[in-house]
Structure 1
Amino acid sequence: MPMEQTMRWFGPNDPVSLRDIRQAGCSGVVTALHHIPAGEIWPVDEIEIRKKRLEAEGMRWSVVESLPVHEDIKKASGNYKQYIANYKVSLQNLASCGVQTVTYNFMPVMDWMRTDINYELPTGARALYYDRAAFIAFDLFLLRRPGAEADYSPAEIHLAESKLQTLTPSQRETLFHNALLGLPGSDERFTRDGVLHALAQYAEIDAPRLQAHLFYFLREIVPVAESLGIRLAIHPDDPPYPLLGLPRIVSTEAQLQAILDAAPGAANGLCFCTGSLGVRPDNDLAGIIERMGDRIHFIHLRNIRRHQNGDFYEADHLNGDVDMYAVVRALTETMRRRHVQLPMRPDHGHQMLDDLAKQTYPGYSAIGRLKGLAELRGLEMGILRS
């Protein structure tokens, strides 16, 4: 049984249309009610409006990505108990509308981080890139985070200073903007003071404490999800190591196992993202599937090319440091053993061809994702037929 082919859609303002997604060969759509602020309840009528719009184009709402976790829950402060109660109601409302897979993340403040969203490849296509020296330059000299120097070695600080000297004022402004795109709702214009204030809220929260907050959240919502037939899928950290003094707790196999053990119900599962987990060479992706395949509920297939100094860029789906053949083979075996069809989306894609002249969400132009989906479908068919 092949994976269910899906693509992500950001809603009515997405320059990639539902018709584009259908023409790419998808039967399902991955979307969310982005217009509803984090922490508020998703009403049934809003869920139904979105669901019917997808169905009118001949597709189904396969996965919610994401039902956001309010920052108060991550910090276990303020109105976090009310926000957890709201989360449960949103799960109930989604289940009543027949939407059964819900992705979320537990990354503090930042959902993801890249320093260049227009990295030009030799082909002329553009990819997302994380340049560690540029990121350190952003942290130390543009954001000027208090105490940031303690997080880096003298050699790293020297490289960051050298990187900064190569950037024009315009390039420095672009770097600052790119680094903040991972802030939820970052269509807004964030100020340096606003970002530093958000980071300061985590000053007393280290990795063990953040993990304890996640486990509390899971023990509250997993029984509800279990009773509703909802499958929860936590997305790994992107990239999978600490940034800006913030802890990361969804980066390694050991951390994934701890999350599954914290709330053992089958509803408590993983969004298996090869791009995020693959940035760490110590993550055995095919082995994680073999050992945790029963708890994988959603799949992001994306490839990356790593460099020794911590840089990486998003490579072609079949040509990077992730062994995509081994990953897809392990996933097909898991689905065969479980007798399930798991939803998969080609995560990100290069901006290429006609899309080079269009303004799209970083990583989410149509043609690059279509290319990735076609390659992944071909790989999967070859494995299934062999």
Structure 2
Amino acid sequence: MRQTWRWFGPHDLTSIDDITQVGAVGVVSALHHVPNGAVWTPEEIAKRHREIGTRKDGTPSGLTWDVVESLPVSEDVKKQKGDLRTHIENYKISLRHLADSGIEVICYNFMPVLDWTRTDLRYSVANGASCMRFDINDFAAFDINVLERPGAGADYTNAIVDEAGRRFAAMDEPARKRLARNVTMGLPGSTEAMTLDDVRDHLAEYGAISRERLRANFVDFLEAVVPTAEDLGLRLCCHPDDPPFALLGLPRVMSTEADYKYILDAVDSPASGMTYCTGSLGARPDNDMPGMMERLGHRVHFLHLRNVKRDNDDVIGSFFESEHLAGDVDMVAVIAAIVREENKRKAAGRKDHTIPMRPDHGQDILDDLNRRSQPGYPTIGRMKGLAELRGVMAAFEHRELGL
């Protein structure tokens, strides 16, 4: 695995100098300041390459921009409305510009409205560290009592509705605003901040879009852009839904192995693949994470290795982001499956036999607790996670084990 690190640009509290010291050899980044649907110009792409390749003192960092995360798919494309055609053409132009710069792996997602959802961005765990958490009862309190989505209560069990009501009643106004801000934060670095009215407007438009329709729209998007990616030698990889179940009455189409198989079969090309995120998919207990890597590994272009601890085995339930080797995902079995896949690729002569990975998210520990970095992206917590993952990787890659 090629060890990479996510970087949000010059304003990221983790600097390029820091990344060179934690042991990563590549960087995962994006042009977060470019509006969704607009073209990524050669000039802006080249600027990000220079920023990644340069230390604070002006000397070369030795780091390369290995993966784009993300080249966003606009809401107009997902809904097939408005500037759909322009946004798809702009997407293809951006792919060409990225390929010209030497990048080959492009991560994206097809989640409607919100790119990820958590109810607490600084949840305290037993040892004093903090992490991100999704609590289904708090989310229901937001959905039913803060957003006031019509019919929201019908989407939850009676026990969840009752508990949500109790929690909402116990919140003061700052707590209610904090919950709303946490839920609508979306992807760190996103240019699209969501107000409650923005969310309500999107939900109204999605009201006529079924899960089947959104899936069909996704296939249409891939049919439009994958031939360009294939011609350019690019590998597109879709990130799973986070969390991997329906929220706010919105359709979800990338939550399970069956979802991925449908999409990968619908547009069957080496240029269309999967971002294998163990944290997102692992939040759902019926997802077999090592088995998924065994069966779909040949289409995995990018790895997000993180772990979650679920409150119970409910498919739609609560969880927090645990230490990388301490959650409900069997990370050792997952890494063994990844190493086997890489060995298969190498034996077959595949150019992409080394899969880029990054330690996804991490708990805020030590000085992280005072830095207040992007939620989920502490420097020391991720460094600890990378060190743990690196140890497991080294063990499985050792020749004496014969893997």
TM-score when normalising by structure 1: 0.97
1:109 to 113, 118, 138: 113
2:386 alignment counterpart: 373
Residue 32 of structure 2 contacts residue 190 of structure 2 at CA under 8 Å; is this kept in 1?
no
The corresponding residue for 1:337 is 344
How far apart, in 2, do the equivalents of 1:207 and 1:336 lie?
37
Distance 1:347 1:41 in 2: 27
Maintained 8 Å contact 1:207/1:248 = yes
Q: Does the CA-based 8 Å contact 1:111-1:184 persist in structure 2?
A: no
| Partner SS state of residue 201, structure 1 | helix
Task: Decide which of 358, 377, 401 is 1:364's aligned counterpart.
Answer: 377
Cα distance in 2 between the residues matched to 1:17 and 1:93: 25
Q: In the alignment, which residue of structure 2 is the partner of 1:324?
A: 331
Q: Measure, in 1, the Cα distance between the counterparts of 2:379 and 2:92.
A: 34
Partner residue of 2:367 out of 354, 370, 374: 354
Query: Residue 41 of structure 2 aligns with which residue?
Result: 43
| Corresponding position: 1:83 with 2:87 | yes
d(CA) in 2 for partners of 1:24, 1:184: 21
Other structure's SS at 1:313 match? strand
Partner of 2:57: none
The equivalent residue for 1:146 is: 150
Unaligned residue ranges in structure 2 (runs of 5+):
55-60, 347-352
**1:17-96 alignment to 2 at 5 Å?**
17-56=15-54, 57-96=61-100
Distance 1:153 1:296 in 2: 36
CA contact 1:109–1:183 (8 Å) conserved in 2: no
* Alignment-derived partner of residue 178 in structure 1: 182
1:199-257 deviations in Å (ceiling 9; x for gaps):
21101011100000000000111111011000001000000001111110000000000
Matches of 1:52 and 1:176, distance apart in 2:
37
CA distance in structure 2 between the aligned counterparts of 1:15 and 1:366, rounded to whole angstroms: 8
Distance 1:184 1:147, change over 3 A: farther
Q: Within 2, Cα distance between the matches of 1:261 and 1:195?
A: 32
Distance 1:100 1:161 in 2: 48
Secondary structure, counterpart of 1:380 in structure 2: helix
TM-score by length of 2: 0.93
* Partners of 2:285 and 2:125 in 1: CA distance: 23
Secondary structure of residue in 1 paired with 2:106: strand
What is the CA–CA distance in structure 2 between the aligned matches of 1:55 and 1:221, rounded to whole Å? Answer: 29
Say if 1:102 and 1:189 are closer, same or farther in 2 by CA, change over 3 A: closer
Q: Does 1:251 align with 2:255?
A: yes
How far did residue 359 of structure 1 move?
2.0
The structure 1 residue matched to 2:310, chosen from 306, 321, 324, is 306
Query: Which residue of the other structure, out of 226, 229, 249, is the alignment partner of 1:225?
Result: 229
CA shift for structure 1 position 183: 6.1
Change (3 A) 1:135 1:72: same
Instruction: Give the aligned partner of residue 395 of structure 2.
Output: 382
Q: 1:47 to 1:218 in 2, by over 3 A?
A: same
- Could you say which residue in structure 1 is the equivalent of 2:266? 262
Measure, in 1, the Cα distance between the counterparts of 2:188 and 2:133: 19
How far apart are 1:164 and its partner, in Å?
A: 1.6
3-state DSSP of counterpart to 1:298:
strand
Question: Secondary structure in 2 aligned to 1:127?
Answer: strand
Deviations 1:168-215 (A, max 9, x none): 322222111111111686677643222211221101011100000000
Describe the shift of the 1:209–1:187 C-alpha distance in structure 2 as closer, same or farther (beyond 3 A). Answer: closer
In structure 1, the residue matched to 2:14 is 16
Q: Which residue of 2 aligns with 1:195?
A: 199
| More divergent stretch after superposition (153-162 vs 338-347) | 153-162
How far apart, in 1, do the equivalents of 2:183 and 2:240 lie?
A: 19
How has the CA–CA distance of structure 1 residues 176 and 349 changed in structure 2, closer, same or farther, with 3 Å as cutoff? same
Residue pair 2:184, 2:195 contacting (<8 A) in 1 also: no
Matched-pair identity in %: 50
Task: Evaluate the alpha carbon distance shift between residue 260 and residue 187 of structure 1 in structure 2; reply closer, same or farther with a 3 A threshold.
Answer: closer
8 Å Cα contact 1:180/1:186 also seen in 2:
no
SS in 1 for 2:274: strand
User: Which stretches in structure 1 are left out of the alignment for 5+ residues?
Assistant: none
What secondary structure, in the 3-state scheme, does the structure 1 residue paired with 2:53 have?
Answer: helix
Amino acid at match of 1:265: S
Whichever residue aligns with residue 332 of structure 1, its letter is V
Cα distance change of structure 1 residues 187 and 167 upon mapping to structure 2, 3 Å threshold: farther
Question: Is residue 2:152 matched to residue 1:166?
Answer: no
2:5 pairs with one of 4, 7, 17: 7
Letter in 2 for 1:384: E
CA distance in 2, matches of 1:243, 1:183: 16
1:132-178 residue CA offsets vs partner (Å, 9 max, x unmatched) = 00000000101111221221232221111122233232222211111
* Partners of 1:293 and 1:331 within 8 A in 2: yes
Structure 2: distance between partners of 1:293 and 1:34: 29
Q: Counterpart amino acid of 2:209?
A: I
Q: CA deviation at 1:117?
A: 0.7
Aligned to 1:272: 276
